[in-house]
Amino acid sequence: MRAIGGQRKRLCLPIVSAIIGRFLDIGATQGNAEIQRVFQVHMELRFHLFESLYLVQLQLEDIMHFQRLRLQEFERKNEAAIDKACFISI
């Protein structure tokens, strides 16, 4: 199933929407911007539909991984600050 120009975008959108729905748990504005950029690049390069979706999925998994690492680091810093505050108040 190959499409040209606008047709490709219309064919991809329902499938892309389903994939985006799976990955929108990120919740971070930066993560969402990264996801939009990934899809924009793939639409502009006009990869074959299924090849593109596979590559996008891999890239989104990388984004999710780095978002989880950022969140874990943020939680560690907050836990350390809370522990320090509790120790000082004792």
Domain that includes residue 56, residue range? 6-89
Does residue 12 fall inside a structural domain?
yes
* Number of Cα atoms under 13 Å in the Cβ half of residue 10: 5
Does residue 1 fall inside a structural domain?
no
Query: What is the value of pTM for the model shown?
Result: 0.36
Does residue 76 fall inside a structural domain?
yes
Q: Rounded CA gap, 15 and 4, in Å?
A: 17
Q: What is the pLDDT of residues 17-62, one digit of tens each?
A: 555 555 554 444 455 666 667 666 666 666 555 566 677 777 777 7
Does residue 69 fall inside a structural domain?
yes
Does residue 71 fall inside a structural domain?
yes
For the cut 50, the answer to whether the pLDDT of residue 2 exceeds it is no
Q: Report the candidate in 53, 62, 59 with the shortest Cα–Cα distance to residue 15.
A: 53
